Amino acid sequence: MSAMRTLAKAAAFAGRWFGLLILASALLGLLVPDQAARLTPAISVLLGVIMFGMGLTLRPSDFAIVFTRPQAVVLGLVAQFTIMPLVGWGLAELLQLPPLLLVGMVLVGAAPGGTASNVIVYLARGDVALSVAMTSVSTLLAPFLTPLLVLWLAGSTLPVDAGDLLVSILQIVLVPVVLGIVVRALFSRLVQKVLPVLPLVSVTGIMIVVFAVVGANADALLATGALVVLAVVLHNLIGLALGYGAGKAVRLPESARRAASIEVGMQNSGLAAALATTHFEPLAALPAALFSVWHNISGALAASYWARRSGGAPGAGGPTPGARKRAS
CATH number of the domain bearing residue 120: 1.20.1530.20
Phi, psi of 267 (to 5 degrees): -115, 160
- For the stretch 113-161, pLDDT in tens is 876 787 788 778 888 888 888 888 898 898 899 999 999 998 877 777 7
Rounded to whole angstroms, the Cα distance separating 216 from 12 reads 30
Rounded to whole angstroms, the Cα distance separating 116 from 99 reads 29
> By three-state DSSP, how is residue 149 classified?
helix
Contact 152, 81 (CB under 8 A): no
Q: Between 177 and 265, whose confidence is greater?
A: 265
Contact 228, 95 (CB under 8 A): no
Closest CA to 299 of 233, 206, 212, 219: 233
| Position 207 in a domain | yes
Q: Between 237 and 54, whose confidence is greater?
A: 237
Q: What is the DSSP code (8-state) at residue 40?
A: G
> Is 81's pLDDT higher than 60?
yes
Q: Between 15 and 239, whose confidence is greater?
A: 239
> Is 24's pLDDT higher than 70?
yes
> Is 43's pLDDT higher than 60?
yes
| Position 317 in a domain | yes
Q: What is the domain count for the chain?
A: 1
Rg (CA), the chain: 18
Rounded to whole angstroms, the Cα distance separating 101 from 291 reads 13
Q: Between 131 and 311, whose confidence is greater?
A: 131
% residues pLDDT > 90 (the chain): 28
The confidence band for 108, taking pLDDT boundaries of 50, 70 and 90, is very high
The confidence band for 313, taking pLDDT boundaries of 50, 70 and 90, is very low
| Position 1 in a domain | no
Average pLDDT over every residue of 34-47 = 86
Average pLDDT over every residue of 228-239 = 95
Phi, psi of 242 (to 5 degrees): -70, -30
How far is the CA of 93 from the CAs of 86, 101, 177, 231, 279, in angstroms? 11, 10, 34, 10, 21
3 Cβ contact partners less than 8 Å away, ≥ 6 residues apart: none
The confidence band for 328, taking pLDDT boundaries of 50, 70 and 90, is very low
Type of residue numbered 320:
T
The confidence band for 15, taking pLDDT boundaries of 50, 70 and 90, is low
| Position 10 in a domain | no
- For the stretch 166-214, pLDDT in tens is 888 888 878 888 898 899 989 888 888 888 887 778 778 878 888 888 8
Closest CA to 150 of 86, 232, 237: 86
Residue 325 has what pLDDT? 44
Contact 265, 240 (CB under 8 A): yes
> Is 326's pLDDT higher than 70?
no
Contact 251, 69 (CB under 8 A): no
Domain that residue 173 falls in:
39-323
Lowest mean pLDDT of 219-228, 250-259, 318-327, name the range: 318-327
The confidence band for 324, taking pLDDT boundaries of 50, 70 and 90, is very low
Phi, psi of 95 (to 5 degrees): -90, 0
| Position 9 in a domain | no
